[in-house]
Amino acid sequence: MDTTRQGAAVNARGIGVEGPRGWAFRGVDITAEPGALIAIQGPSGSGRTCLLLALTGRMRITEGHATVAGLPLPKRMGTVRGRTALAHVPGVADLEPALTVAEHLHEQALLGPRLQGSPAGALPWGRRHKEATRARIDAALAAARLDPDTLPKGLGTCVRDLERLEALRLSIALAVMHRPRLLAVDDVDLKLSPEERALAWQSLRDVALEGTTVVAAGSDAPADALIVSTAPATTTPDTHKEEAAHAFAETGRA
């Protein structure tokens, strides 16, 4: 990955999101420099997913003030969406169980901006495009610490056959492929053992060290992470997930 790219600074004061059934979260303050690792912690149903969506421009904040990469929210939500990415958000950014790792990666590569700057500039365009795509995929796999040689069938492994940590890493690889300034990851600790959880956080720390700001929801964050707590929930966990998915559908995947 490009270690010179700039992450997004995050500044928030008293932000909150109120839905039809009450507050998803409120009163959250964040001050983080580019390349920070931010850990969102709170009980299930406390609005962690909604906070991730709000910071990536996919859910409108209804109180307080925030900027991401210097862009004010909610005024510049569309621009913030274009400079951020989501990974591992249940019901919002899911993997397709029937597709292989390779199919996910190639599909994501096609969704991104036109490939440019291939080192093999003297080659025909078709070959340049293919090699640039491969380089982009390799860089994303390396950033997420997902080694195809450790998978049952390499890149031909179906998502349904991945271990949970491997699926998380694939989701991260897809999210960082187009070099967002901020990566948001949900449920880092979902059904992982303590050892796997530590490895997951290490992967996210590595992404942050390479320049991308990372904001992730989960427990047992490393000591050097910036800890942000969500306010006590006033609605049920299922309500938050439903509202998060609805908000994401409203704003789109851009």
Spans of the chain below 50 pLDDT: 1-4, 114-125, 233-239, 248-254
Distance CA(1)–CA(18), nearest Å, equals 38
Q: What is the pLDDT of residue 93?
A: 82
**For 43-84, what is each residue's pLDDT tens digit?**
878 899 999 999 999 999 999 999 999 999 999 999 999 999
In this prediction, residue 119 carries a pLDDT of: 45
Q: Environment class of residue 7 by beta-carbon count within 10 Å: exposed (0-12), middle (13-18) or buried (19+)? A: buried
Q: Which tokens in the block code for residue 28?
A: 């959250």
pLDDT of residue 245: 52
pLDDT digits (tens, 9 = 90+) for 82-96: 999 999 998 788 999
Domains of the chain in start order, with CATH, are 10-251 (3.40.50.300)
Determine the pLDDT at residue 1. Answer: 39
Q: Which two tokens stand for residue 117?
A: 């700057």
- Burial grade of 234 (CB within 10 A; 0-12, 13-18, 19 or more): middle
